[in-house]
Each structure stands twice: as C-alpha cells, then as structure tokens.
Structure 1
Amino acid sequence: MTSVCERCIQGYILDGQPSGVFEGPAYFKAAPVPSKRAVIVLTDIFGLKVPNSKLLADRYSEKLGCDLRLTSPSAIGNPPFTPEQLAPVVHDVPNTSTPFLAKIKFVATIFTSLPALMRIRFARRIKLEKKYDKIGVIGFCFGGAQVIRLASTDLFDSAIVAHPGPTGKKDIQAMKIPTSWICAEEDNTFPPSLRQEAESIFRRKHEIDKLEYEFKDYKGTVHGFAARPNLSIPVVKDAFEAAFEQTVSWFNKTLPVEKTA
C-alpha cells in the first residue's frame, strides 16, 4: 500500500484560473515562443482536480519560456483524495503539536480512501508528442517520489524533487541526472536523517561523476509547502516563492536550450 502522512492530504487552494489546455488526458501550457526544451510536472496526490499544479505550470511556462505538461489522473491512477478533502488536518508550521481529534480525522480519511490508494500506479513512461532537445521533470510530494524513481532512467535530462513522498536510499542511489531538492523543515516522509543521507549520496556522485545537484532547506515550512501553501503565513509564502525561483534557476542552468525562431 502507498504510504502517506497527514500533510499529504491537507493544504490550501491557490487563487487564479489556469490558462492552459487539455490535450487528451494531460494538461498542456505552450511556451510563449517555441522552444526545444520542455518540463513535465508530476502532481501531488490530488492529481489535476486541484488547480495548484496547473497554476504553477502556467507560471513555469511563462518564466522558463518552454512547454509545460502535467501528468493526468489517468497517468497516475485515479487520485485517491478529492479537493473537498483538501483541508487543514495538522499544523502549517514546524514544532507544533497535533490535536488528538485531528489525528482521528486523518485516520478516518485514510480508511475511506484505502481502495483508491491501493489502485494507484504511476506511469513508467511519458509519451512526448514533440521532439525536444532537453526535458526536465519536477514532482511534488507524491509526484516527487516518482521523480526519484524516474531519475534512474534516461527519460529526462534534469529533475527537481519537492518534499517527496516516501522513498528510500536505494532509489536515491540509483538516480543519475542533475537534481535539485526542495526540502521542508518538518517532513515525516523525508525526515532529516534521509535528507542528510540523500545529500551524502549526491556529494559522492559529484565527486565521482561530476553530477550536478543542490539541496535547499526552507525554515518554517512543513511537507507540502511548495504545492499547497498557506500563503497567510509570511514565512511560508516567502518559501513558496523562493522554491518557485529555485525551480526556474535550476532548469535554466541544466536545460540550456536556445529558443527557436
């Protein structure tokens, strides 16, 4: 069974209306000017029903000047949680205790969603409709764990992992493409011990193979802040925007493809 924590199924919906289109089951945002690079976004556990990932894709496309494609619910299995369940269950800042009733609510939510959780399968291949010179991938939470696995293949040229879902040293060790990590201060699915081990693994990869990497920690944040932030908290809002800029900077660095005329 897929493992989740309380924060995997809580958060806040961002304001705004997505401006991309659906091409079949996938969400697509075209580059302002044709480009030979593209970025794939793997959503969190809510799939495409929550607008956040689409709004982020729109912003990435504009800032990076490239095509953005989001995986669809059919590509990752039917999302086990709905937008109606996207509500605060536990605290939004680190080092705060969780009320007992909130824990009960989490358990009840997991129980009712168990059949869907057991059906989830991520797509192992992403079929591209255009031929790009460079392709990057970013995944949030549930999608972040899948990016870690995909980074051991030859599908992508660069990756960003944002507060990933459950993963392990073996999967991290198998990664072989440049990777940027967006890390929350408090994260049950990517705890400090594993986060430190991940950086040690990449440090060795850089020493041996010159593999590029970076880890950035955001104080005052919890799992999910880069995808479903509580923007009423200044430190969370600042971290959310900084993580966005981290993404743009990383892909500009590792996917250096000139725009076509």
Structure 2
Amino acid sequence: MASNPPSSCCATGFKHEGTPVGELKTIDGVNTYIGTPKGNQKTDTAVLFLSDIFGLFNNNKLLVDEFANNGYLTVLPDLFRGGQLTTDDMESGRVNIGEWLKDYQPPNVDPIVAQTIKYMRETLGVKKIAAVGYCFGARYVTRFLKGGQINVGYHAHPTGTTHEDLAAIEGPLSISAAEIDQAFSPQLRHESEITLAKTGQAWQINLFSGVKHGFAVRADLSDPNQKWAKEQAFCQAIAWFNYHL
C-alpha cells in the first residue's frame, strides 16, 4: 500500500461553521452537491470532489463552495449512498471503521465516480476535470487519473492508495501531507515519492509540520497553525489546477 486504509485517525477532527450556498441534486440516484461559480467561471473546466468518510458533510460542502469561489464548477457526489459516517458516530466512538469500510470498496465506489464523470462531461459539457480527494477520496482520484477520465489530481492526507494505482497515473498529481499521520507515514510517503518519480508525470508532495491526518478538511480553526496549514493546502490545490488546466 502507498497509504494505509482508513482507520480511527480518519474519524477525528472539528466541525466548521458556515452555511453552504451550493445546490443539492440527485444525479442517477446519487445525492450530489454542486458549487457553481459566479462571475469569473472557468467554463470548460471543473472539479470533481471526492470526500472523506463523512461524505456530504458541512466541512466538505464549504470546501466545494471555496473551489467555486475560485472559478471552478465543483461536483461532490455521495460516494456512500447515504451510508457515510456522521459526526455523532465520530464523537461516540461506536463505529468499527474496518467493518464499515467493507461496504465501500472499488466495486461499490468506482461506478459512482464513473457516472459522475460522465455527467460532468456529457451533461455539464466539461472538457477538463481536476479531481480532489480527501482521505478516503484520494484513492479514487488515483484510480481515475488515467484513460482521459481525470486530467489532473490532488490528494490531501490520502488513505487506501496502492502503488499499482500510483504507478499507473497518466496525469499530474499533487499531495498535501501531514507530519503526524499513521495512514500516510514518512515511510509510505517516501515510497510514494519513488513510485511517482517513475511515472514520468508531474508530481508534488508538500509536507505540513505540526498537523495531523485530516487537517485539510477537519482542522481546528482556532489553532493558528492548523488554520494556516488548511488554507495553504487549499491554495496548493488551486495553484496546481490553475497551472495544469
């Protein structure tokens, strides 16, 4: 594995305040949150947002809105068809993530990602797709960054990625990594660097000190270092997409 499967570190973090302003639609039976830019829209490009284990969670919707604020139509499908973990689950500690994860493997998730890409290209008319993957979603950015499905990818603190999928990418990939992360440990990060260097694709790994797994989406915003790292990880994704699209 290039990063370990989701575990207890994926079910920690902080809820962020704010009211999402996007639109919730049902696309081929899948609840999907869409952020639409105002004004300076990049009309032929869009972002596919593949979430952490909390799915259509307020934090994720607010991030979708931020991508839209930067000019990118952004689409967040419910990868779990309503079976995502909740913040109540997180706070109670009653969920066995290993057991939960059995229902959300590639045979279950790949079709949702594929149909969302089809919708973006055929219905929305998107020519180039950038994909972001936080924690759980990172694996699926990697799996679809080939064959012209996704054009450019970005991960934050990935889980579940394999060296086989990393080795097979056919587009640029950027990763934001946390210093303290059992899922994407220093050893796995260095192994991933070796794998990515052999792909012939552009790649980037930025390491943020003093933060833990999940910082790019579930940071404690009252902590200046966590807030700064979260904001810089987002800027990393935007800069990567602006350059490669």
TM-score range for the pair, normalised by the shorter chain length: 0.7 to 0.9
Q: Percent identity?
A: 30
Aligned: 1:42 with 2:46? no
Give the aligned residue type for 2:13. Answer: G
8 Å Cα contact 2:19/2:62 also seen in 1: yes
1:51: which partner in 2? 58
Aligned: 1:217 with 2:207? yes
Cα shift readout 1:65-107 (whole Å, capped 9, x = no counterpart) = 12111012xx4343341121234xxxxxxxxxxxxxxxxx75x
Aligned: 1:187 with 2:178? no
Unaligned runs of 5+ in 2: none
Cα shift readout 1:133-177 (whole Å, capped 9, x = no counterpart) = 211000100111221212234211100011111222222111221
What TM-score do you get using the length of structure 2 for normalisation?
Answer: 0.85
8 Å Cα contact 1:42/1:139 also seen in 2: yes
Give the aligned residue type for 2:103. Answer: R
Aligned: 1:176 with 2:166? no
8 Å Cα contact 2:173/2:204 also seen in 1: yes
Q: How does 1:38-187 map to 2 (within 5 A)?
A: 38-48=46-56, 50-63=57-70, 65-72=71-78, 75-87=79-91, 106=93, 108-110=94-96, 114=99, 116-120=100-104, 121-122=108-109, 123-125=112-114, 126=116, 127-128=119-120, 129-187=123-181
Cα root mean square deviation, aligned? 1.9
For the residues of structure 2 that align with 1:110 and 1:136, how far apart are their CA atoms? 32
4+ long deviations beyond 4 Å: none
For the residue of structure 1 that corresponds to 2:52, the secondary structure is coil
8 Å Cα contact 1:230/1:236 also seen in 2: yes
Unaligned runs of 5+ in 1: 88-104, 256-261
What is the count of residue pairs matched by the alignment?
A: 226
For the residues of structure 1 that align with 2:83 and 2:54, how far apart are their CA atoms? 5
For the residues of structure 1 that align with 2:69 and 2:146, how far apart are their CA atoms? 28
Shift of 1:216: 0.4
Larger Rg: 1
8 Å Cα contact 2:11/2:90 also seen in 1: yes
For the residues of structure 2 that align with 1:16 and 1:153, how far apart are their CA atoms? 37
For the residues of structure 2 that align with 1:229 and 1:249, how far apart are their CA atoms? 21
Q: Which moved more, 1:196-205 or 1:181-190?
A: 196-205
Cα shift readout 1:29-61 (whole Å, capped 9, x = no counterpart) = 11213411100101100110x201110010111
For the residues of structure 2 that align with 1:147 and 1:77, how far apart are their CA atoms? 18
Aligned: 1:28 with 2:14? no
